[in-house]
Amino acid sequence: MGYLKVSKKKFGQTAILYSLTNDSGITMNVTDLGARIVDLIVPVNGKERNIVLGFDTEQEYHTKDMYFGATIGRVAGRIRNGSFSIDDENYQLPVSPENGHTLHGGEASFEAKIWDAKIEQSSDQVSVIFSYVSPDKENGFPGELNARVSYSLTNKNEWIIDYQAETDKATLYNPTNHVYFNLTGDVTQSIDAHELVVEADRFAVVNEDTTVTGELRSVSETPFDFRQSKTMKQVFETNYEQNSLVNGLDHPFILNHTGFVKPQAIITAPDKELSIEMYTDRPAVVIFTAQFEEGPEIRGKKLVHQGGITLETQVSPGAVEFDGFGDIVLYPETTYQSRTMYKIN
């Protein structure tokens, strides 16, 4: 048995920071504020590298960006006009005044809540299980939802995210995690030299406001073709209209396969010393390349434009509108379950 360790400390006025360390010396820090990952610190050639974007205090999340590393829910992505129907019953959610849509479950959603937390430990992994009860009509969503998200760090250098939920009334549920990776560990370096593989033949085309149009387009002969490893420059140094529209990537990729036998996506650091493999049972991954107009300061350094990349596993946005995009309705008689795993190599 190794020396898998877990400890906790205050992270601000209300939040707690949990620190998990495995036998390889990888440390993952997570917090009950938004059931989020804060740090993923990996030893590389004797030096520590923090490969995710995060802040040092609870307060910084509130003032800088609430989505960094957070659990997103009830529904990841945009719901056009905040409206949907389930079994012929119509629902209207609060919408953003900027664009008239509902983003990531609406304002002050999962990412802003303090989740209950408990620690579980075995010989080969240590876990923090976060739970939150979202009341009926919270942000306009029907049904009381019991949500659980567990983060496990294993001795195989895996970060496993397990989602579970039950509802007492038919509702929408499509959670994700909003982690940003930068495998250089230096937020002043763009991710343009990172290499990416995505096992996806199709991506969802987006409008100017990044809602999906309903078109699923082949990646062939476009900068979205990452079926062979390519650098991220491919999407930054192009005038292809879908990339120009969002200044990078902010798109769902429809995965060719799901499961845990082989990865659906791989990010490799520019120095080739480190890579992250993504495995999921979700049918899509939304990839966003952190093209902020003004990046926040992170751990004392200013985040550069396109200084991070997300791999947000989920059912593709547009599922409530378009056939062929998947189904995100959760009924009382079923338990929602999904898993995503990031393996550090």
Active site residues: 178, 312
Q: Could you tell me how many residues make up the chain?
A: 345
How many other β-carbons are positioned within 10 Å of the β-carbon of residue 294? 7
- DSSP string computed for 248-310: S-EEEEEES--BSSS-SEEEE-TTSS-EEEEEESSSEEEEE----SSPPEETTEEPPTT--EE
**CA angle 159–165–170, rounded 5-degree value:** 145
25, 172, 269, 285 from 327: Cα distances, Å: 40, 9, 34, 15
47: left (phi over 0), alpha (psi -120 to 50) or beta: beta
Beta 47-50 vs 297-298: how paired, if at all?
unpaired
Q: Which uninterrupted H or E stretch holds 337?
A: strand 336-344
